[in-house]
Structure 1
């Protein structure tokens, strides 16, 4: 009786589960489509505005366009992955959300102060969004770390990439 060749644990893990689950694919398509639709919508608004716009308005439109393009890029990147991500996608999405929250809070606060309405409400609402985004980023990093620890346990690899005895 011949013994079948043994697969390394990493190969077994990759063969057992598809690289992207249905939920991840749906999230990726949603991010891609929402980012593209947002880019088209914001750009159309920006180009169709009559007369010269103030600099801060151009900044706001540019920032929103960049955020939409970033989400579209994230969705496209996620759809092209053919390897297990170990929650890397969640970490990237959390950082995009945190950056968008911080930048939006800063711009809205500057506009509110420029209009004389005070920074309090803008900072309160923006601070809430930043806090939620920060919690999601910390949670995503913790989940990724736990998945990588589990992978190292299953494959017998230590952090340096060597096999333990």
Structure 2
């Protein structure tokens, strides 16, 4: 099954609401700003940072760039058929799990673990809803 049937440009532009486009622009700008600011902070450190701190900075910059890249891809590619929601769900799940594991390992507190479990659980719920929505759209497209 193909995901690119013969839609007109008017139909394609009408499928993404203004609210969704604004949200994607906000996600892209937030990711890009985070990556730029963390990169600048890292680059302007007066002394060499420990290797664990350098790894943490690199991972945070990559997370910001991943969100910016996702937003750019979602804004430019048409039609999406809710694939953007599934990818966003996977990004949220992966990054919240990574953050939860890293913060629990660094701090060793139960609070960090609890916050990580709550955030990862929320990301998993978002991912599940995205798959359900995509399945529904593809079923309607077939019918």
Q: Give the shorter-chain TM-score range.
A: 0.7 to 0.9
Does residue 1:78 correspond to 2:68, yes or no?
no
In the TM superposition, residue 19 of structure 1 has moved relative to its aligned partner by: 4.6
Listed as ranges, the gaps of 5+ residues in structure 2 are: none
Does residue 1:90 correspond to 2:78, yes or no?
no
2:30 to 15, 30, 34: 34
Q: Which has the higher helix share?
A: 2
Alignment of 1:10-159 (within 5 A): 11=6, 16=11, 18-81=14-77, 83-112=78-107, 118-153=108-143
Tell me the TM-score normalized by structure 2. 0.86
Tell me the TM-score normalized by structure 1. 0.75
Larger radius of gyration: 1
Alignment: residue pair count: 138
Please tell me the root mean square deviation across aligned C-alpha atoms, in Å.
1.9
Whole-angstrom distance in 2 between the partners of 1:148 and 1:111: 43
Listed as ranges, the gaps of 5+ residues in structure 1 are: 1-9, 113-117, 154-165
